[in-house]
Each structure stands twice: as structure tokens, then as C-alpha cells.
Amino acid sequence: MLKSTISRCISIVALPALLLVYFAFVKESPENPSWLSPPAPERVISFVPSATEILYELGLGDRVVGVTQFCNYPPAAAQKEKVGAHTDPNYEAILRLKPDLMVILKEERELMPFLDKYGIRYVTIGSDTVEEIIESVRSVAAACGAGERGDSLAQTLRNRLEIQLVDTNGNKKPKVLLCVSRDNPGSGTVNKCFAAGASSFYNQLIESAGGVNALKGVSQAYPSISAESVVRLGPDIIIDISSSHIISNQQEAACGDWDIFKSVAAVKTKNVRCLSGDYLTIPGPRFVLILDDLKTIFAEYAQTQS
């Protein structure tokens, strides 16, 4: 009995000392900066193309085990197992891959109960604004135990955004209509298009590059505008983008569709630009390439106004 009592007393006395040692050497250890956080994930599923790009940009591509059918960049991502897409998730594939982290859009509310049910940890990201894109970099990095790399990449992206490289030589900023999608490009006409509104991430890119969004007064992210609206808006520059890589003659045909607006300044001054490339419609870290495209286009426009 005496021996048992002494043992219990020693345990009670020793416990605080052990806790002090733990807090001093484990909690504060550089190797354990997130001692209360889950361990860094080793099997990550990206359910967002932009998140896939973020993971690879952070040097975490080797941890990615699954992606959506639309995740094609970088090329290595296209080789990963597919787990469906936003409107059609492959639940069996997700479970089979045994992820310890899944990156999803904040809008993926129907997917969350499934992940909760099977105890799959997830992080949500947004892509409505440039700031959300940059914050997504931080969120994904932090969830993967790579916070410093995330902070560094986020700061690099922010620096690129804030540096104004366009010299308009004192001219007024061009009014820009940016068409993100339309039916039958190359058909010889433009019936309607979905354009970048004030709440789209393109709006900030237009402004950062030195332009004014023709739809800055429209709160919708991507409103549908008619042919009549194009005439009424009277843009100085029209930018028509496509996520697909198209050959030059197709690009010329797509630009030629806008010739029907003969009274619009952008058409009269030959300032209609058609761009193609998958980076143009993915709100990820490659948004800086879109920014570079806009700066080049605006600089060319400024030279014609000198």
C-alpha cells in the first residue's frame, strides 16, 4: 500500500514537470511550429484547377494523389487520378485514394457532408477576387504545413499586381470590354457575350494594368450583354478570351466577328484583341500572366493615342 501511495505521489509531482519540458522543447521547437495542428498531409486531392496550380507552384505536387478532370496544368497534374468535377464528384474514387486533405471551393456545400461523414479533412478556398486568389495560396500552404512558402508566393503575386508598368503618356485610361465567353466564335457575328463585371477578378486586373472596366458599374461578376449593349458601352478596347489554345486563323476569325460593330471605337481603331490559353480562365497564381497580357495591350493602345 505504501509503495503504491508513493508511486501516485511521484506521478502527481512529476506531471507538471513533464508538461513544462513538453512546452519548452516540443511546442516551441522550430520543427513543430504547429504543434496543435494536424500533421502535414501526404495525400492531397485538389477539387479545384486553381488549387492544383497552387499546390504545384508551392512545390507540393508530389503530395497530390487526385485532381478534377479539368486539372491540366502543370502537365504532371494531368497524369494524376481523376475524381470527377464540380457537378459530378466521383465519391468512390475519393475514398479509394484515402486523402488526408482535400481542397475544395467554398461553394462546394454539397460535398462537405460527405467529407465530414468519412472524416476527410478539407480546406475551402475562394476565387471571386484577386485578394481571394492570393489568400487561397496562404490557406492551401498553411493546410499543408508550408506556411512560409505560401506567404512568400502570396507576396510575390501581390507585388506583381501593385506594380504599374503602363505609361499612358497622360492619356485617359482606355475603357475595356473583356468578353470571357460567347457562343460560336468565328461565326461572323456576336449575338451576346458574358463579360467581366465589377465583382469579377478580371475587374481588378483591368484596373491594375491601367484600364477602366466598361462594366465597372455592373455588380454581377459575369453579366450577359447583348449586341446593343456593346454599342451603348462604346469600349475603346475589346478583349475576347478563350480557354482553349486556338490556331491563328481561328483567332483572326473570332476577332473578325466584332467587325459588325463598325461604330464602336475599339473596332474603328482596330483595338479588338483575341487571346487564347488555359490560364486565361483559371483564377489561380497564373493570373499574373493575364495581367501581363493586359499591360501589353494597354501599352499598345497608349502608343496609338500619343
- Structural domain contains residue 26: no
Q: Are residues 146 and 228 in the same domain?
A: no
Whether residues 247 and 211 share a domain: the answer is yes
What is the pTM assigned to this prediction? 0.83
Q: Residue 2 domain-assigned? A: no
Q: Both 57 and 156 in a single domain?
A: yes
Let me know if residue 37 belongs to a domain: no
In a domain, 20, yes or no: no
Q: Which domain holds residue 291?
A: 175-305
Nearest of 243, 233, 247 to residue 190 by alpha carbon: 233
Taking the CA atoms of residue 147, residue 149, residue 155 and residue 156 in that order, the dihedral angle to the nearest 10 degrees is: -160
pLDDT for 247 equals 58
In a domain, 36, yes or no: no
- What integer pLDDT is reported at residue 161 of this predicted model? 81
> Do 293 and 231 have their domain in common?
yes
Question: Are 214 and 280 part of one and the same domain?
Answer: yes
How many domains, in total, are found in the chain? 2
pLDDT for position 306: 67
pLDDT score for 37: 62
CA distances from 17 to 11, 26, 28, 161, 188 (A): 10, 14, 16, 51, 80
- pLDDT at 246 (0 to 100): 61
Indicate if 189 and 300 belong to the same structural domain: yes
Residue 154 sits in a domain of what CATH number?
Answer: 3.40.50.1980
- 158 shares a domain with 180: no
**How many CB atoms are located within 10 Å of the residue 257 CB?**
21
Q: Do 204 and 156 sit in the same domain of this protein?
A: no
Please list the helix, strand and coil fractions of the chain in percent, rounded to the nearest 5, in that order: 45, 15, 40
Task: Write out residues in the chain with pLDDT < 70, as ranges.
Answer: 1-37, 163-171, 245-249, 306
pLDDT tens figures, 79-96: 999 999 988 999 999 999
Regarding whether 153 and 75 lie in a shared domain, the answer is yes
The pLDDT value recorded for residue 134 is: 96
Q: What is the pLDDT of residue 160?
A: 86
Does 179 lie in the same domain as 152? no
* Structural domain ending residue among the three candidates 135, 162, 189: 162
| Residue 92 resides in a domain | yes
State whether 184 and 105 are in the same domain: no
- 24 occurs within a structural domain: no
Pairing of strands 237-242, 175-182: parallel
* Residue where one domain finishes, among candidates 98, 131, 162: 162
Q: What is the pLDDT of residues 27-72, one digit of tens each?
A: 333 433 444 567 899 999 999 999 999 999 999 999 999 999 999 9
Tell me whether residue 12 is in a domain.
no
301 and 179: one domain? yes
Single residue among 162, 194, 227 that ends a domain in this structure: 162
Return d(Cα 45, Cα 81) in angstroms, integer.
9
State residue 3's pLDDT score: 45
